[in-house]
Amino acid sequence: MNSLFTARKRRSAAVAVTGMAMLGGMFAGIGTANAADDNWYDQSALLTSCQQNVDGLGKADRCRFEPAKREIFTGPARQVGPTVHACATKVTLGRQTTAGRTEENSIGVSVGVEAGLSKVFSASIQTTYNHTWSYSTSETTEIGGEVPEYSIGYATLAPAMQRVTGRMVINYPKRRHGHFLWYAYPTLTQYDPDEMQYSTTTVYSRPMTAQERQSMCNGAGGATSAPPATHTTIHLAQPPTSQGAGLSGRPRN
């Protein structure tokens, strides 16, 4: 009798231990999944899901951009307009336009996705700062400088630029990696055609060589001396400025 009772007791204890081990394994698995979710953070995938379905995320319900800081600064100088060859008379450089550029995003996404996101960005930036923002734009300026006679010259424009940092608030209909709400923190850069006081315009010129006079001016002015090489700043940019403050990033809520 005692031996039968002891055997049953041992079997019950074994079943209890096995059950606890199975539960422990289940809870361990849950902990591992949560840890993986907590470590997941792909800002490119998050932004892309604002425009289209993304594996593991689907498509976001709503995406709202919250600008935090806007900086205005002067970009690198590049030649605008053609190189001018002035023969017997000086040439005045008129209105010139930069090559167009598209919005630059610190978080890499496809061109098509960026074009769609830009509509969200521009609406918030214009509302917050009362300022123009476009996905694709150029800058046009009146140069007004001159290239002297028997000289070759061109103009450069260091364009006014704007840089906006902020937070994209991304909401999902179901939990994604453990959360309904995720954040991405893009930094956006583009021309600023409304703030031309932050651009610098310069005209460069140099005398033609004898060979250039022969080929470009039919040999005219062979004995005429041209002014020495020079560069003239037509417009000097103001120092950079900013509005707002930076953000301390948090990936999710």
Rounded Cα gap, residues 182 and 107, in angstroms: 15
Tens of pLDDT, residue by residue over 66-125, are: 999 999 999 999 998 889 999 988 988 888 777 777 889 999 988 888 888 999 999 999
Number of H helices, E strands in the chain: 4, 16
Tens of pLDDT, residue by residue over 134-160, are: 888 777 787 888 899 999 999 999 989
Record the pTM: 0.73
Tens of pLDDT, residue by residue over 165-222, are: 999 999 999 998 888 999 999 999 998 888 888 999 999 999 998 888 888 888 766 6
Straight-line distance from the first to the last Cα atom of the chain, in angstroms, rounded to the nearest whole number = 62
